[in-house]
Amino acid sequence: MPSDLYVTLSGQITMDTRLSTVANNVANMRTAGFRAETVDFGTILSATRSQRVAFATVGEQHIERQGGPVEATGNPLDIAVVGEGWFGVQTPTGLAYTRDGRFTVTEAGDLMTLTGFNVVDEGGAPIALDPERGEITVAADGAISQEGVVAGNVGLFAIAEEATLTRYGDTAVLSNQAAEPIVDRTANGVRQGYREGSNVNPVQAITELITVQRAFEYGNTAMRDRFQTVQQAVRTLGAD
């Protein structure tokens, strides 16, 4: 089989990965706290033939960390991060981190995400409130008060730049390095009554989706034409 077919096939595999990633970004343009993903590709050189052949790698995915737009909602349980911190949430696989601050309080008083995970304080403990006590107020430093009495503190966590993030659900991430609680709330804090949106750039994402789709289609056409050429050559040589 000609090496150019294998090279084109490796390119199609990378395009498929990129297409899935971009399509997921587009689908979550309006998902609160969503973080876009990018894919980095490289090449692998094969020396098994008389000439070195370069194949495309499958690609390495990265989660973009920059913040999304923040909008006022007026909902006292909508909280947006100010700065570089992340909310901590308890999941079956351990502590995860999110910028989706759309919270709710259960009948038992647990502060939860809309996806059903407990929101934790800076020590990693679930935050418990009194659902019957009255209005919930969240200060800029994350202190939660009810009727003037501090009932807890929203935890904010710093994830190291070199840490590898993997997606957990739609808006949370897992880190291969433990995040550190943010104690100094002068540069990092929260805003009550606000919600952070997705950091996906809609125009850029849709443009990229169209570009990748076209490239994928061109690759399929090139592979089909090349394969038909090879088949025709085989039939011709076989007839001889």
Residue-by-residue pLDDT tens, the chain, 240 positions:
455 555 555 556 667 778 888 899 999 999 999 999 987 654 444 444 555 554 445 567 789 999 999 999 999 999 999 998 999 999 999 999 999 999 999 999 999 999 999 999 999 999 999 988 889 999 999 999 998 899 999 999 999 999 999 999 889 999 999 999 999 888 899 999 999 999 999 999 889 888 877 776 766 666 666 666 656 666 666 555
Contact 180, 158 (CB under 8 A): yes
Closest by CA position to 119, among listed 62, 77, 148, 147: 77
**Quick one: pLDDT at residue 123?**
93
Within this chain, do residues 109 and 220 fall inside the same structural domain, yes or no? no
Within this chain, do residues 23 and 39 fall inside the same structural domain, yes or no? yes
Closest by CA position to 28, among listed 240, 175, 171: 171
Within this chain, do residues 191 and 204 fall inside the same structural domain, yes or no? no
Phi, psi of 184 (to 5 degrees): -80, 110
Number of domains in the chain: 2
Longest dimension (CA), the chain: 94
Within this chain, do residues 186 and 76 fall inside the same structural domain, yes or no? yes
- pTM, rounded to two decimals: 0.78
Range of the domain at 89: 70-196
Within this chain, do residues 52 and 121 fall inside the same structural domain, yes or no? no
Contact 154, 138 (CB under 8 A): yes
Within this chain, do residues 43 and 83 fall inside the same structural domain, yes or no? no
Cβ neighbours for 217, distance < 8 A, ≥ 6 positions apart: none
Cβ neighbours for 148, distance < 8 A, ≥ 6 positions apart: none
Q: Which of 164, 181, 196 is the last residue of a domain?
A: 196
Cβ neighbours for 142, distance < 8 A, ≥ 6 positions apart: 153, 154, 155, 156, 185, 189, 190
Within this chain, do residues 132 and 74 fall inside the same structural domain, yes or no? yes
Within this chain, do residues 80 and 160 fall inside the same structural domain, yes or no? yes
Within this chain, do residues 205 and 169 fall inside the same structural domain, yes or no? no
Within this chain, do residues 77 and 192 fall inside the same structural domain, yes or no? yes
Within this chain, do residues 126 and 187 fall inside the same structural domain, yes or no? yes
Within this chain, do residues 192 and 221 fall inside the same structural domain, yes or no? no
